[in-house]
Structure formats: structure tokens, C-alpha cells
């Protein structure tokens, strides 16, 4: 089967875009700590803006475009999944809870038995 979306390979300009994105991220984090006198929401907003700018720059690279295609195809696949209805979810949850309770009792009894054996062997 032929792939309609071939994987794009980068060029030397991609390295510059990647460095610019990294520089934007570092600048945002640096500004967060450099401007401690500003309110926290302003500093966090600055970091979020630098993160958004870095993401926009990354989308200009071949790797960024490949990652975006992956995200889009993942969302399409997620829409194809048949999710369980409420009844199936409740039955599965109840089954898991019952098994967990049974195992809790089993390990509690095992612990009591091993503790009794240990007391007998050590004479405590």
C-alpha cells in the first residue's frame, strides 16, 4: 500500500529553526526567574507565550510537520475506537474490585500465616 503522506526529511535550515525554538524556550524560562518582582501570572504567561512561539517555530521544521501529522492521525484513530458503554464499564469495574478484595484477603491471610510461622521459629 502506498503512503500518501511520506515522511519529510529535514534540511540545514531546520537546524536553525530548532536552535531558535530552543532559544525561545530558554529565554522564557530565564525571564521567569529574572523578573521575580512581577506577579506570578505574568511570569507564567511569559513562559506560556515562549512555549507557544517555540511550538510555532518547531512546526516549520520537517520534524515538527511529521509530529503534527502523527498527532492528526492519532486523533483520527482515536475516533475509530469503540468505547465501552456504561454497563460494560460498571461490570468491568465491579469485577476488578471483587478480584482486588479477594487478593487482599488472600495476602492478609498469607501474611498472618507467615507471621505465625516466624513467631514459632524465633520463639517470640
From 1-5, 25-29, 90-94, the region with the lowest mean pLDDT: 1-5
Residue 101 to residue 7: CA distance in whole angstroms:
49
Question: Over the stretch 17-71, which tens digit does the pLDDT of each residue have?
Answer: 999 999 999 999 999 999 999 999 999 999 999 999 999 999 999 989 999 999 9
Residue 44 and residue 28 share a domain: yes
Residue 72 and residue 50 share a domain: yes
pTM (global) more than 0.85: no
pLDDT at 9 over 80: no
Cα separations (Å) of 2 from 5, 24, 32, 46?
9, 38, 48, 44
Q: 40-58 and 62-80 helices cross at what angle (nearest 10)? A: 100
DSSP state of 20: H
Structural domain boundaries, residue 63: 1-81
Neighbour count for residue 57 (Cβ, 10 Å)? 20
Amino acid at each position: 500500500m502506498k503512503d500518501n503522506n511520506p515522511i519529510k526529511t529535514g534540511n540545514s535550515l531546520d537546524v536553525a529553526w530548532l536552535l531558535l525554538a530552543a532559544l525561545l524556550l530558554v529565554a522564557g524560562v530565564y525571564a521567569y526567574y529574572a523578573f521575580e518582582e512581577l506577579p506570578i501570572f505574568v511570569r507564567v504567561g511569559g513562559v506560556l507565550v515562549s512555549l507557544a512561539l517555540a511550538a510555532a517555530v518547531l512546526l516549520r521544521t520537517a520534524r515538527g510537520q511529521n509530529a503534527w501529522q502523527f498527532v492528526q492521525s492519532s486523533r483520527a484513530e482515536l475516533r475509530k475506537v469503540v468505547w465501552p458503554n456504561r454497563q460494560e464499564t460498571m461490570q468491568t469495574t465491579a469485577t476488578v474490585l471483587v478480584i482486588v478484595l479477594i487478593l487482599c484477603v488472600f495476602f492478609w491471610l498469607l501474611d498472618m500465616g507467615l507471621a505465625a510461622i516466624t513467631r514459632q521459629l524465633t520463639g517470640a
